[in-house]
Amino acid sequence: MDYQIIFFTISNVKINQSLNSLIAYVNLLPKTISIDNIHITFRHLNQSNQIPVCVHLKPVQKNNLQWSTDGCQLLSTNLTHSTCSCHQFSTFALLINYQKKSDENNLLFFPKIGCIISIVCLLLAIFMLIIIRFHMDVEDDLTIVRNALHINMSLCLIIVQTLFLVGIDQIKHKFGCQLISILLDYFLLATFSWMFVDGIELLIALKHVFKIDRIRLIAYSIYSYGFPLLVVFLSTILSTKTKYGLSA
């Protein structure tokens, strides 16, 4: 017996659902012929790592339809296409599963909590360093210099954590993403620079018994804030064509 499969797609339809494919209607003529499974491959409208869901239109009430997963399952999927298997003829489509999006939001939630805790601890550390500064011997140059180094290091880390909190959601805005990337690079380099000069100062204190010169703090500041500025400036200039801070 000859039979005919009717297959067409519907594109100009307004539906309050998150579709990731064209809507496909599949029917079989004559209807006396039965087919166990229908395999349909959809091309994604938006390339995404979210999990697609195979659905078909199911009548729920008089003149009312809703998307249902009953009788449909996902066979395979990649970045651009998904293959569905369904047990009946109907109107089919791919929906976006927001479970993955929810997981991504959870992954962002915990780092934000960690950043807030880090900022609070760093503020407490700076507060304690300031108190120690007012109670230390004014003639103790080594302690004064190292105290200043630790305060600057903590300030840079606070700025890094704050930039992360503010800028982690700026990936959709090119200018904002680039600005956050530049500032993060600068203050991270500044943090490592302060750690480096802190190690130098400790080495000098252990190797030499002469009095620590407080004027050296100026040189440390110029290096710790100037060297990262030079590196970030050159990186920004050299990466103009590749859009600094943005993935290709």
- Select from 50, 74, 97 the last residue of a domain: 97
Q: How far is CA 182 from the centre of its chain?
A: 16
Whether residues 232 and 112 share a domain: the answer is yes
Whether residues 217 and 167 share a domain: the answer is yes
Whether residues 109 and 89 share a domain: the answer is no
Q: Which residues of the chain have pLDDT under 70?
A: 1-17, 20, 25-35, 48-49, 62-63, 97-107, 137-140, 170-172, 208-214, 240-248
- Select from 97, 131, 146 the last residue of a domain: 97
User: Quick one: pLDDT at residue 6?
Assistant: 44
Looking at the 3D structure of the chain, how many domains does it have? 2
Whether residues 159 and 212 share a domain: the answer is yes
User: Quick one: pLDDT at residue 67?
Assistant: 79
Residue of 214, 217, 198, 215 whose CA lies nearest to 206:
198
Q: Report yes or no on 243 lying in a domain.
A: no
* pLDDT tens column, 166-176: 887 766 677 78
Q: Report yes or no on 221 lying in a domain.
A: yes
Whether residues 142 and 91 share a domain: the answer is no
Whether residues 127 and 75 share a domain: the answer is no
Whether residues 121 and 81 share a domain: the answer is no
* pLDDT tens column, 114-141: 999 999 999 999 999 999 888 776 566 7
Whether residues 230 and 128 share a domain: the answer is yes
Question: Which residue in this structure is represented by tokens 């791919």?
Answer: 94
Q: Report yes or no on 244 lying in a domain.
A: no
Q: Report yes or no on 195 lying in a domain.
A: yes
User: Quick one: pLDDT at residue 13?
Assistant: 39
- Select from 51, 67, 97 the last residue of a domain: 97
Q: Which domain holds residue 24?
A: 4-97
Whether residues 136 and 220 share a domain: the answer is yes
Question: Which residue in this structure is represented by tokens 């091309």?
Answer: 43
- Give CA–CA dist 107/5, Å, rounded: 46
Which CATH number is 64's domain given? 2.60.220.50
User: Quick one: pLDDT at residue 56?
Assistant: 83
Which CATH number is 154's domain given? 1.20.1070.10
Interstrand relation of 38-43 and 81-86 (parallel, antiparallel or unpaired): antiparallel
User: Quick one: pLDDT at residue 126?
Assistant: 94
